[in-house]
Chains A and B, each alone.
Chain A
Amino acid sequence: MRDFVLKRVVAVIIPFISLYGFYVILHGAISPGGSFAGGIIVALSVIAFATIFGLDRAKEKLPEKILVWTDSYGTLWYVLMGLVGIVKGVPFLSNRLAGINLGVPGTLSAGGLIALIGIGVGIRVASTMITLFFTMMEEEK
C-alpha cells in the first residue's frame, strides 16, 4: 500500500478531484450534480490521501477540531440563509419573495440563495464523511 508510483500518481490527481468536487457544489443549482454529490467527491479526495499516505499525516492536515467546526457551522449557515426570508417578513427559506434579484436564467447567480445554501451543505457532507472514515480507521489498536 506504501508504493512510490502510487504516491506520485495520487499526489498529482488529488487536487483535481478536489477542484471538481467544489465545481459540482457551486454549480449544483443550474447543472446536474448538487451539494450532496459534490461534498462526497471532496471527501473522497481526503479519503484517498489518508489511504495512501497514512492516517497520521491526514490527521495532521485535518485535525479533529477543524472537522467539528465545519460540521457545526455548515448546518448553522443553512439556518442563517433561511432566516434571510424571515428578516424580510416572508416565509422561511424564500428566495424570490425576499426581494433577491435572480438575474439571467442559466448563469451562476440565477439560483439566488440556493448556491449559497449549497456551499454550507457541501462542506457539512464532506466533513461528516471524513469523520466517519477517520473514526472507522483508528478503531483498531
Chain B
Amino acid sequence: MYLTLIDYWTIVLLLLLVTISISIYFIKDLLHAVIVYGAYSLIMALIWLQMNTPDLAITEAAAGICTTVLMMVVVFRTSRKEEE
C-alpha cells in the first residue's frame, strides 16, 4: 500500500491522540489533566481538518476551548488533587 506524506501526518497525530488519552488517566493533578485535555481537543481539530471536514474542525476548536475553560473554573472551585 502506498502512503503519501499526508497519511504519515495523520498516523503521527492519531498516535499522539492515543498517548494523550491514556496519559489523562494516570495524571493525578487535575489542573494538569485539564491542560492535557486542551491539547487533545487541538489535535482532534487538526485531524478533522486533514479528513476534509473544516466544519467539524471549527466546532471542535471552539467547543474544546469553551469546555476547557469551564472545567478549569470547576477545578479552581473544588479541590485540585484527586482523592485516593
Contacts and interface: CB of A to CB of B under 8 A. Distances in A.
A36 B66 contact: no
Contacts of A36: 59, 63
B14 interface: no
A67 interface: no
Most buried by B among A24, A32, A36: A32
Interface residues of A, number: 19
Interface string A127-141: 001001100110110
A51 B70 CA distance: 11
B69 interface: yes
Contacts of B77: 136, 139-140
Interface in A112-136: 129, 132-133, 136
A34 B59 contact: yes
B55 A133 contact: no
Nearest to B69: A47
B51 to A, nearest CB: 13
10 contacts: A32-B54, A32-B55, A37-B63, A40-B59, A40-B62, A40-B66, A41-B62, A51-B69, A136-B70, A136-B74
Interface of A: 24, 32-34, 36-37, 40-41, 43-44, 47, 51, 129, 132-133, 136-137, 139-140
